[in-house]
Amino acid sequence: MTLDHIGPVATDGANEGQAIGASRRAFLKAGLAGGGFVLSFSLPTFALRATAGTPAGFEPNAFIRIGSDGSVTLTMPQVEMGQGTYTSIPMLIAEELEVDLTHVGVEHAPPDRKRYGNPGLGGEQVTGNSSSIRAFWDPMRRAGATARVMLISAAAKRWKVNPSECHAERGEVVHKASGRRIKFGALVADAAKVPVPEKVELKRPDEFKLIGTPAKRLDTPLKVNGKAVYGIDVRPPGVKIATLAQSPTFGGRLKSVDDKAARAVKGVRQIVRLDDAVAVVADHMGAAKKGLAALIIEWDHGPNAKLATQDIEKELEQATLGAGAVAQQIGDVGKAMTGAANKVEAIYQVPFLAHACMEPMNCTVHVRKDGCEVWVGTQVLARAQDVVAKTTGLPLDKVVVHNHLLGGGFGRRLEVDGVARAAQIAMQVDGPVKVVWTREEDIQHGVYRPYWFDRFSAGLDEKGMPVAWNHRYAGSSVAARWAPPFFKNGLDPDSTEGAIDLVYALPNMRVEYVQVEPPGIPTGFWRSVGPSHNVFVVESFMDELAAAAKKDPVQYRLALMDKSPRAKAVLQLAAEKAGWGQPLPKRSGRGVSVQFAFGSYMAQVAEVEVSKDGDVRVRRVVCAVDCGAVVNPDTVRAQVQSAVIFGISAALFGQITLKDGRVEQTNFDTYRVLRMSEAPLIEVHIVQNTEHPGGLGEPGTSAIVPAVINAVFAATGKRLRKPPVDPAELRLA
């Protein structure tokens, strides 16, 4: 296993290699480069830009190289941020190629969205939206199978036997009848000359040896001995360390800086002034922080100087009083509501949330006259390159970006504000400079999960079942800024995921969305994105309907799920494994949620205990997941455990609030996240099937929040409609 964290990846060899057997329509091309057999293939990308035409000729965007020593190297567009993709994607190749997983090395792809764009994300070079396995499931396996077929052909030709008499196993081609074997490495030159087969047969699920079997993660050993290199760890020769203060209000400007005391700090080298920020450059972060604290800074607080969360709340509330863009309409809600036996209404709000990745934002940049180098851990390599070119005025091809491991992404590293900031600072510094944000800066200058305001009404029939469902909500559309082509007619697929196409069959349903961009606070994708909000409100309101009908929340849901057998199955499984219905002590309760999101079905049962003082403790979480074919079951379990903890932090503690235009939270004392002593037992039950894989990095987060809040209702009878949990509301009098 090799991981190239440090240098740029040389993929040019693949292009220079003699191209043999390429056809105009082929998605694969074979060649010989650097003494190895290189299979270049192009993943089907859907151009994000409307203007992008069909590329002329063959544009490979992924490469498998088999060396004469038998080593297999995959140049891969996805980044590792803890989700295990450096293990699960090589598993797809290794499975079809018939090599040991440990023999597959991974290299980061350089920034180039034309080549490395993610087919599931509009061709952007992005790691996100739980999409890696979903998008690469077919093409990666096909590439592996193609290479195997070509190696077998080469061996058969050499032995003068029929290829059908040969098979591949553990990096060798075997001719069973004669007992002959030859290693892949010895075949590379010949294999490169074999015409690329038009069609290859992929393994049937019952033939899988690796897929579906727990695999050891390939990126782990360096992460337990301090040798793994994250963005924050790079040390190009002569690097200086900078830390910064950005305008405490969004949109404010720097008025003046008295840097006399800061300059006197030992190790401080330079003070860099920007329009809306100031940075201290020093020999080490200790000196940079001390220097920053010694600055006397005056800010012009700008147009948002008085902004408070309540202002945003009011604006959103107002917006939900008018009509929105219709995201889904089924039947006639108005008519059904008039004829309903009972009516239920509720208003929900969800707060701004920060990502608080363990690795604070950072980026290292070295600007020279004729070019520049960037070292960063990012989910969007090509965007990082773009923004540095734009900031420095250098041509794109003069900006070299080295990507590194990410100390958490969760959506924060889909943004390049920190990269642009580092480039601005580096333009004023001679030599490389590593810009490291303090935790306070990281929390107070985030790109936050939007605040949403939701208005619900439902009509129930005499039996208490919903005959009308009316949902209107207002909030920021992240997609409208981040991927504008996806925002059409006032709607985008992210803002509506989880609010429409429910797992429930509702005869009359109307869902409207009102896009409102809050002033003075940037919004972005946050683990489980749109569903982080929609699943919470839908599953909370469904619970309210069950309560109004005086029915069991699980039975009530199941009665509406006949058209979603996979959703029904996970709900039944989770309820059964959780011991749903079995008695619990006083002030304890179970809550449930079920969802279809990111291509996966999931149900969760959370068991909580509420103290006299109103503190909520999540004791146990039972999760049932159907994510189609499972590549690495251990990664599925790990991702669900992770997503559940992430979501509990949000349900119990998470909120970013504004006062006087500033974020009030600063560090892990005021922006609490779950700790070891508060972590529940988590059980993950995986439904076995062979459906197309669904995403797994995020569903656990959107599912847990309503499960916890519904459990609090079961334990206390209090319906919380505005997370996080406020213990004061749950305190015993």
Using CB under 8 A, list all residues that contact another protein: 81-84, 216-217, 219-221, 223-230, 232-233, 235, 241, 265-267, 283-287, 289-290, 356-360, 405-410, 436, 438-439, 634, 638, 641-646, 667-669, 673-679, 681-682
CA 572, CA 581: separation in Å to the nearest integer? Answer: 12
Length, in residues, of the chain: 733
Phi, then psi, of 387 in degrees rounded to 5: -70, -30
Residue 474 or 644 with smaller CB distance to another protein: 644
Residue 397 or 669 with smaller CB distance to another protein: 669
Residue 67 or 236 with smaller CB distance to another protein: 236
- Minimum distance from CB of 730 to another protein (Å)? 23
The answer to whether 673 and 651 are in contact (CB under 8 A) is no
Beta-bridge partner residues of 595 = 602
- Minimum distance from CB of 632 to another protein (Å)? 10
Give the DSSP letter of residue 698. Answer: S
- Minimum distance from CB of 414 to another protein (Å)? 15
Residue 50 or 224 with smaller CB distance to another protein: 224
How far CA 669 is from CA of 105, 431, 441, 678, in Å, comes to 41, 36, 14, 15
- Minimum distance from CB of 216 to another protein (Å)? 7
Residue 242 or 272 with smaller CB distance to another protein: 242
Structure tokens at 208: 């899988």
- Minimum distance from CB of 265 to another protein (Å)? 8
Structure tokens at 207: 């033939």
Residue 312 or 645 with smaller CB distance to another protein: 645
Residue 286 or 371 with smaller CB distance to another protein: 286
- Minimum distance from CB of 520 to another protein (Å)? 26
Q: What angle do CA 57, 63, 64 make, to 5 degrees?
A: 135
Residue 81 or 279 with smaller CB distance to another protein: 81
For CA atoms 486, 491, 494, 500, the dihedral sign is: negative
Residue 406 burial by Cβ neighbours in a 10 Å radius (0-12, 13-18, 19+): buried
Instruction: Provide DSSP, 364-410.
Output: EEEEETTEEEEEE--S-HHHHHHHHHHHHT--GGGEEEEE-B-S--T
- Minimum distance from CB of 668 to another protein (Å)? 4
- Minimum distance from CB of 640 to another protein (Å)? 10
- Minimum distance from CB of 524 to another protein (Å)? 16
Instruction: Provide DSSP, 452-515.
Output: EEEEEEEEE-TTS-EEEEEEEEEE--HHHHHSGGG-BTTB-HHHHBTTBS-SS--SSEEEEEEE
- Minimum distance from CB of 363 to another protein (Å)? 14
CA 488, CA 327: separation in Å to the nearest integer? Answer: 11
Residue 434 or 510 with smaller CB distance to another protein: 434
Residue 207 or 669 with smaller CB distance to another protein: 669
CA 403, CA 381: separation in Å to the nearest integer? Answer: 7
How far CA 632 is from CA of 86, 88, 254, 281, in Å, comes to 11, 6, 50, 44
